[in-house]
Structure 1
Amino acid sequence: MKPFKLDQEPKIDSGFKTPEHYFENFATNLIQKLPKEPIAEETKVVSISRKRKTVLMTIAAILVLSLMIPIAYQVNTKNKEVDTVTLENYLTEETTLNQDELIGEIEPENSVIISKTKEIETETLEDILVTNPNIENLVIEN
């Protein structure tokens, strides 16, 4: 490889040149190009607090609405009646009452449960007993 010597090689001109006396006349040229009118009259002053206040009010409104929607949904969709499955699960799992005590508490004349039941025909009862494989369990419980 041939050794490269920076001082001996021909130099290439950059192509960029500054005009004559550019830096000497720069300050005077700049002052001449500036507008003569005062700057305060041209600029319009906008209050930052007004923009900030509207942004804060918007954020507060969105926050309140986002918190109120789930509450309003729960209030409007709340079911006032207890379904029978929930009641049965509660009585079997959460209480210490056994089956005999529950049956003893039900009075036939005042009970809604008994009044809603229909009488089962003997043929239907026989069909249920024949098709049920756990007939011994039903007989032992009663």
Structure 2
Amino acid sequence: MKTFKLENEPKIKSGFKTPDNYFDDFSEKVLQQLDQKEVKVIPFYKRKKTISLAAAALIGFALMIPIVNNYRATSNDLDEATLETYLSYQSNISQYDLIQKLDDSDIEKLNNDITLEDETLEDILSTSPNIEHLISEQN
């Protein structure tokens, strides 16, 4: 392969040329153009803040919506069905153990009379598969 030396090769002339006497009055032309175009600068701290504050508040509220919904969804309140299922699968807990853990307010809640109509009671007893168990619990 033939060696290539940059110094020995003919130079290609650029297609761009500066006009004659271009740099003689260049600085004066630039300074004249700067004086003509004066831009009014408004400092950032002097701007009206109402629009930016409203936008920031809107974004803040929009970001809080998922957090509030997640907080409500993960509350620690147990529903009755979950509690009843848990207690039914705990074979080492008797009804006497549960009674000992009740306080006065719980007992008052239990003392409220629940009125059931005869038809409702008959429907519950007829559809219950373990009616013998319910009867033996009452005795």
Say whether the fold is shared (TM-score over 0.5). no
TM-score using structure 1 length:
0.44
Which structure: larger Rg? 1
TM-score using structure 2 length:
0.44
